[in-house]
Structure 1
């Protein structure tokens, strides 16, 4: 079989969702990157109890949509897979660049980048490769990609970026060995002067740390202002 795999460039269109309005009263602008199996408009529901007048939230949409189960009713999406990761990463970063360029916001706003689960790998790649100057980087229940190292994030120190990692202590995907590995990566790269919160679930089962749980009832310090991430309602 004379097989070859080729590539072609073309223009595509993707959506993104926003919550609240960007006004002169806005203090915090968020870019929040959802995990695998989400749609951006539903992910935004987890931020709807932040004070609307002070917080403008932008939720980019992962490009690869699929049905979540055999009923063919619920749809989720993925940012990347192990197939063609390098090329797909560049496609995703180009999309995030376009979202960022389309959303002009005042420089006096606190700019926060948050990644959840698979969204952590996207957040860290985007921030590192594009040298995004954010006031705070929040890494929630996800890992830093292996190809990134300390030098990729050295500019964060110069920018005085605050980095917070949130990890569930009963997360079924975070074994003791992986926790050690991720802690080393955090200390060696973006989290040299950050704080890591190990969050205890109240549920009896050891399911993956999820935004629906009480772990978002935390307070992040943003430029001398306390912005509370409220307990998130259970959604169906």
Structure 2
């Protein structure tokens, strides 16, 4: 007996969370891609330190939800697993492209004509880093700046083919000095791989572990400081 896996395409609803801007027209839209075991609305709490002015922050949620434990019944989400991984990648890249188009179209409808289009920042944390990199490589959305926080460019992403796309996205690497999943040897190997492929990037670090750091986030978001500007 031969078992043959097959696929069909269906329509489904996806969930995302938004921190609406305090001012319009919107100057900057962030797409914040959560890590493994997180969900969108809780992930957005970490972005309160930069939720100000004309900045809108959008958190898409991974398409795969699961219970974190049998007792607590808390739920987390992920972007993919090793099972049927290429299909999952194709699905989430298409989802993120459509969400990007939806959010920018909504903002355009709420803004008076003549305003400059908003800058778009993509931030991936942990598992969301691989998601963001593949979105840059395989998607159609415009991302003006990409922040890779707490993980590496996927090892299987061909930098001879996609390195220029990463460089064009104003790549920033962020890692905690005490990150338990990403030690100094891994950081050096990751940066060496990018340099060898002539991928431009800027490195940032902070005193802390595998988490989003509020002060580092502020520096990255500050248009008059070491962040975007």
TM-score over 0.5 for the pair? yes
- The normalised TM-score by structure 1 is 0.81
* Structure richer in strand, relative to its length: 1
- The normalised TM-score by structure 2 is 0.83
Equivalent residue for 2:153, pick from 138, 144, 164: 144
- CA distance 1:156–1:182, shift in 2 (3 Å): closer
Instruction: Give me the CA root mean square deviation.
Output: 2.6
Structure 2 CA distance for aligned equivalents of residues 176 and 24 of structure 1: 42
- CA distance 1:51–1:4, shift in 2 (3 Å): closer
| Count of residues in correspondence between the two structures | 218
Partner of 1:15: 15
- CA distance 1:57–1:218, shift in 2 (3 Å): closer
Structure 2 CA distance for aligned equivalents of residues 22 and 96 of structure 1: 24
Partner of 1:233: none
Q: Displacement of 1:18 after TM fit?
A: 0.7
Partner of 1:73: 73
Q: Which runs of 5+ in 1 are unaligned?
A: 202-207, 230-236
Equivalent residue for 2:191, pick from 177, 183, 187: 183
Residues 121, 146 of structure 2: 8 Å contact kept: yes
**Structural mapping, 1:1-236, within 5 Å:** 1-21=1-21, 24-104=24-104, 105=107, 107-148=116-157, 149-155=159-165, 157=167, 159=168, 161-189=169-197, 192-201=199-208, 208-211=209-212, 213=213, 216=216, 218-220=218-220, 225-226=224-225
- CA distance 1:21–1:176, shift in 2 (3 Å): closer
Q: Displacement of 1:180 after TM fit?
A: 3.1
Residues 16, 61 of structure 1: 8 Å contact kept: yes
- CA distance 1:214–1:14, shift in 2 (3 Å): closer
Q: Displacement of 1:132 after TM fit?
A: 3.7
Q: Which runs of 5+ in 2 are unaligned?
A: 109-115
Residues 46, 214 of structure 2: 8 Å contact kept: no
* Structure richer in helix, relative to its length: 2
Structure 1 CA distance for aligned equivalents of residues 20 and 52 of structure 2: 6
